[in-house]
Structure formats: C-alpha cells, structure tokens
Amino acid sequence: MGAPTELPWWTDKVGYEVYIRSFADSDGDGVGDLRGLHHHLDYLAWLGIGIVWITPFYPSPMRDHGYDVADYRGVDASFGSMADLEAVFAKAHDLGMKVLVDLVPNHSSSEHPWFISARSSKDSPYRDYYIWRDPAPGGRPPNNWTSHFGGSAWTLDATTGQYWCHLFLSEQPDLNWANPAVADEFDEILRFWLTRGADGFRIDVAHALVKHPEFLDNPPAAEFVRSDTSADEWGALEHLYDANQPGVLDVYRRWRKVVAPHDGLLLGEVYVLDAEKVAEYVRGEDGLHLGFWFKPLHLAWEPGAIREVLVAGAQAAPGLLAWVSGSHDRGRAASRFGGGNVGRARALALSTLLLGLPGTPFLFQGEELGLENGAVPREQAQDPVARRTEAVGRDGSRTPLPWAPGPGWGFTDGPRTWLPMDGRTEADTVAVQRADPSSMLHRYRALIDLRDAQPDLRRQPVEWVGEDGPVVAYRRGAVIVAANCGDQPSSFTPPEGAWVVAFSSNRDGEQQPAGGDVVLAPHQAVVLTR
C-alpha cells in the first residue's frame, strides 16, 4: 500500500478576502491601499489567516471599482506601486501566508488599449479580442442577453456599426475566449504575476468566459427572485447561453499547466447555485483547484435549508470547494441573519459549521468582527447596481473596516472615506475587540486555531449526525461540529465517547466534558473533540 498522497497547501489554510479599497488607507485619501494592507498583515497572521486574496489593484477607470481592468500587468496609483505590491507579497510570505491575485478574464475595461484599438476599426489586430455581432433586424441588439447591472448586454458602436457584448457595464466589454490570441495573452499575464510572488489567482466570473457560439436567446427564468445586488432584468432570465458553456474548462486545463511549476492555486468565482454544476469545474483534477460555493450567501436562517446547502456542497465536491458566508457582492451575514446580537450569533454559528467542512474556508474582511452592513444613503451610493437600478446594491458590505476608535475609525487619517462609516461603534473596531477576550474577534481566532490543531477537520470524511431538527451536526474522525439553527434551546446526542467541548460560540461549557445529551442555546455552535 503506497504512502498517503500529500494534500495541497490550501487544504490546511483559512483564507481572507481583502477588499482593498476598504481595508486600510495609508495616505489619507480615504481609499484603502497596498501600504495599508502591508501595515496590517501582522493582524491577519495573528488571526490565523493562511491565504490573503486581494481584490483588483490594476490600473482602472474604476467604473466598477477595479473590476474594469485597463492594464493587467500594473498597479493603479490610487493603491500604490508595483514595489508596494511586491512588499506585500514578501511580508506575507515571511509571515507564512500565501497571496492570491484577483484575475478578471471575462472582460476588460473599455479603456484597455486592446479595446481602444478593437473599436477603431474592423481591421484592428485586436478586433477579435472582443465579442462583436451585427445588429438584429431593425437595428436591435443581437439577442436578449441582459447585463448584470441592468439593461441589454449589448452596446452599439457607431464607428463600426456592430454591437459589443458586456455581461456587466458597457465599459466592461467581454473578451472573446474563442480567439486563441486571448488565451496566449492570459498565459503570459499569469506568468507575470507568479514570477513576482503571487501564489495563485481568484478568478472573477469563472463560469462565464465562454459564450454559446450561436448566441441564442436566453429563456425566461423558471422562478424570478428579486435581488438586492443585481438588476431585475438579469434575474428574469435563465442564463443558459451566456454562462456555463463546456469550453470554459479548457481554459482552466491550460492554466493548470501554467501554474503547476509554481504550485499555484486556481480558485474560481463560479457563481452557480447548483452544487453539481459547481463540481464540474473542480472534479478529477482537471479544471479549477477550488470553486467557491455561494449558496450559503443566499440562505434564510432555517435549519432544513442550512443542512441541505451544506450537505449538497460537501457531497458534490469533497475538499474542492471554498466555503463562504460573506463577500463584497452580498450583504453581510450578520445583517442577512437578522442583525444585532442575534444576527452576529447566527453568522458565527454558520462560520463554525463551514470552517470544519472539507475544503478551504474564506472570511470576508470584517466578518471576524461580526460587522453588519454599513449605512450608505442612496445619494452616496458608489456601486453601479445601486446607481443604475432600484436595487439596494453592494455598498453596505463594502464600507471601510473600522480599526480603532477616533476620527476615521483608524482606517484613514484623512477627512473623509470613499464610502461613509456612519453608524460604526467603538465595539465594532479591531482595537477594542482585540483587547476583549470575550469578543467576536477572539471567537473567530479561537475557531481558526482549533481548525489548525485538529487534522481530522481537514482529512477525515464527513458523517452527518441526524437528518432533521434544529441542530445541524457532522462528525469528522475525532471531532464533531454542531450548531443549533433554531430559536429555542435544543439538544443532540453525540456518538459514544469521552467528548469535550473544545469550542463554544458563546463560550458556555467550553473546555468541559460534553456528557450524554448536549444542550445548545439558540444560535449556539460547538466543536467537540476527544
């Protein structure tokens, strides 16, 4: 019998999303930057973070806050310099952390030199870097595809008389992955960042790079569900032909060969709410290494739904998912789950369940503080969704991180911040919570520390304990993770053994023997070991 295969490095680490604009500002302009991140990397190491994902820092006109890239090999001056970024790589590595660069391959900025040239003439050598179609009869758009941010996914170019495709803003033209030259360009972009110290890539819109070659109309959605973070037109269609096309896996097969010499990670933003479809991107060591499972971001606080979503993800792609309960594209978990102490307790309970499942968990910055959505009046909205539609938008989850009491909340020394920080309290800050052993911050740190100390939580298969009721629980070897997802005290009976409460989300019973029946308060989560 051969020796056990060594697991990839990301299996043993907890990730953390740094939304760079809102993490820490070093120069007083009210926008987070790379020097601010560099200054606070020690905090992330103290918290127990092993992977730092940085949202886009590239030169950009910032129509979509960096997800409209004008140069894939540079750093926007508002965030610092290439030297600042390389210093982040170096310090993170010194602290034992890996760094993921946010790659945006579905679309570029309309101000990228490729698109400026492509738009100038049908004969441009870059014309086929983008998706162009002739008008439909009557001059209408080529099909009924819609933009995530509202309106048609097509904009007419008066110079050449053709429409360009954009699943997001018109200023974010979609790249044409049917053109081999685009693939060649991105091979070199990946190599550029890997040689400068990146340890891998979080891949934006990873499921939509390839479009159906016939550009067929999308059918109406079987069930329309209004969203606070996308346009109604987007939710009204079933996206059969503008996403999840078979050819997209060929892109990641190719990229695996590019990142392999660097032991690099390909982590996909596969925003698909069907676990089996997400699994297609990661199974068989033949595509992405990890894919985000976003269904937990769409949960109501209901035990049956929570159990169903976690079981579906864990069974569809064991060890190949990145688990999240928050991101810069959704409202914060504490707000989604009711707000106040109840919302924070529920968010921590869900995080406890997620951090023990096979795969790699990621926290969204501020989650460890139990932050709720920031208050952003509509007249101060920055998110294209909120500015172009009636949707609330994503600004509430993107307000700057409060580091310490005082003017600017320790985020900035300047007079204002790019999004308001109204409503934050001293109890929300890193400084106050770090000084309080009973704080949410210390609960998250203890939970991460326990995951690090228990190899069974990363290597043993999942056995679900019970099939119904308010307590959602599973066992992995010598560890049991359980959460009461109901609103009343409830109990569960662990398998026979001398179990100890190694972690309790509300600290009750911690480090005590578990006994026969374990009684959990509403929204309490525990980890039992023996």
* Helix ranges, 199-238 (H): 232-235
Closest among 458, 456, 291, 434 to 358, alpha carbons compared: 458
3-class SS of residue 195:
helix
Identify any residues that bridge with 53 across adjacent strands, giving them in sequence order: 17, 100
Token reading at 231: 């346009």
Active site residue 204: yes
Q: What is the dihedral of CA 120, 123, 124, 125, to 10 degrees?
A: 170
Closest among 523, 528, 519 to 492, alpha carbons compared: 519
Sign of CA dihedral 359, 13, 334, 88: negative
Residue-level length of the chain: 530
3-class SS of residue 16:
strand
Active site residue 463: no
> What whole-number distance in Å separates Cα of residue 169 and Cα of residue 61?
12
Place of tokens 């309960």: 325
Which amino acid type is present at position 328?
H
3-class SS of residue 176:
coil
Identify any residues that bridge with 513 across adjacent strands, giving them in sequence order: 500
Place of tokens 């140069």: 71
- Residue 222's CB: how many other CB atoms inside 10 A? 6
Between 180-195 and 248-259, two packed helices, what is the crossing angle to 10 degrees?
30
- Residue of 269, 372, 383, 428 marked catalytic: 269
> What whole-number distance in Å separates Cα of residue 303 and Cα of residue 529?
23
Question: Measuring CA to CA, how many Å separate 381 from each of 64, 141, 374, 392, 459?
Answer: 12, 29, 12, 9, 44
> What whole-number distance in Å separates Cα of residue 415 and Cα of residue 135?
49
- Residue of 76, 204, 242, 395 marked catalytic: 204
Cα radius of gyration (the chain): 23
Helix then strand then coil, in percent of the chain rounded to 5, is 35, 15, 50
> What whole-number distance in Å separates Cα of residue 213 and Cα of residue 203?
22
> What whole-number distance in Å separates Cα of residue 481 and Cα of residue 87?
38
- Which positions are annotated as active-site residues? 204, 269
